[in-house]
Structure 1
Amino acid sequence: MAKKSFLTRDAVRDVYDRNARFYDLAVWGYYLAGMPIRKWRRMVVEALELRPGDTVVEVGCGTGLNFDLLQKAVGPKGRIIGIDISEGMLERARTLVRERGWQNVELSCCSVSDFEFPDGIGGIMATGVLTYEPEFDRVVERGAKALASGRKWSVLDYKMPSGWQRMFAPLFIALGSSFGVSKDLMDRHIWEAVERHLENTKMQELYGGFVYIVSGEAP
């Protein structure tokens, strides 16, 4: 049996530390491949149905590309908690927070598997992150238990399509190779964890089934 190809947490940290300076530029580069990243991120935030004053946790916040969307959703009286395993990415996020003068953003450098979700939070989101986490099922479960009743987890991630689009998988993998994208990572079914631990789940496939958004609410 072929050995599975997964990045260790240390390897993920190293990849993103190494690419932190160029990450925002690389994300814009995805548009050249027909991937409307900003639109998808907005869809993830909208799925949370956040309210002014809410506390929201962004798992794998990176350089803070979603913070402006979250600020509009929770307002100045809300609270944004961003966590990331990469200190290099968080340094960029801190610079953004400082430049924008946001007083309601808290940043923490840690693995999502080690993060203690505060109780009664208004939403949790992750974009392109949980696929890297070996304990993704436990992370989704712990987050679901921390959410206030009726509040939502929302995830954007990538997977292997089920149809003829699979023939383009080598191109998709090559596109994300600098960030450790692999076939084995694409075979992780994050959406199934969301369906296991939350209610009223919704899933939308994008980009020929390579990308998806899934959300669910806490009981």
Structure 2
Amino acid sequence: MDALFVVFALTVALVPCSVFASDPSSLQDFCVAIDDPRFAVFVNGKFCKDPELATANDFFLAGLQIPGKTANKVGSNVTQANVAQIPGLNTLGISFARIDYAPYGLNPPHTHPRASEILTVLEGSLYVGFVTSNPVNRLISKILNQGDVFIFPVGLIHFQFNVGHTNAVALAGLSSQNPGTITIANAVFGSKPPISDDVLMKAFQVDKSVIDKLQAQFWMNNK
């Protein structure tokens, strides 16, 4: 009984540790990001502007109603609204994005290392999904229509594909002021300098000619 109690107590003690795997809590009402420390008074994630100098524009972004340009190889465009575009998001642990898709356009498989994502379809129909972690690597996917909502858990590979012959639009909320994006194909085959052929040949179980062809591609960024 004593041993079971010790195991239980240790388990309970460790549970709160998972809570800290996110952006730090804000230490004041807001912390407008500023790059020049000469005008900073607090530090909380980034240098922060003196709250007395904050303006409405620090919390404002215009133009999200404008469709992104999708005339590219993947047929999609992500318009970001994170701390880089809205300094007032600093320390608040949230950000936003608009995703536009050409007919049969794809937001390629990618991850957000610092955020979960909630996606809402405004127009069109999307085939979306994410893959669970090793060793199962289960694909969880669904067709979404206008008004549908889907969740992508933090760090997992996910994608969206426009299955219709018309344009599609979605909005995404993310649980970080700066969620980060790792597009899988770009990172693996478009890194600079490139990953060794020997590593990629063994990882993907293909010969060097296939790796060379993939590395020779122009891996564009739709962000």
TM-score range, shorter chain: under 0.3
Query: TM-score when scaled to structure 2?
Result: 0.26
Query: TM-score when scaled to structure 1?
Result: 0.26
Larger Rg, first or second structure (1 or 2): 2
Which has the larger share of strand? 2
Which has the larger share of helix? 1
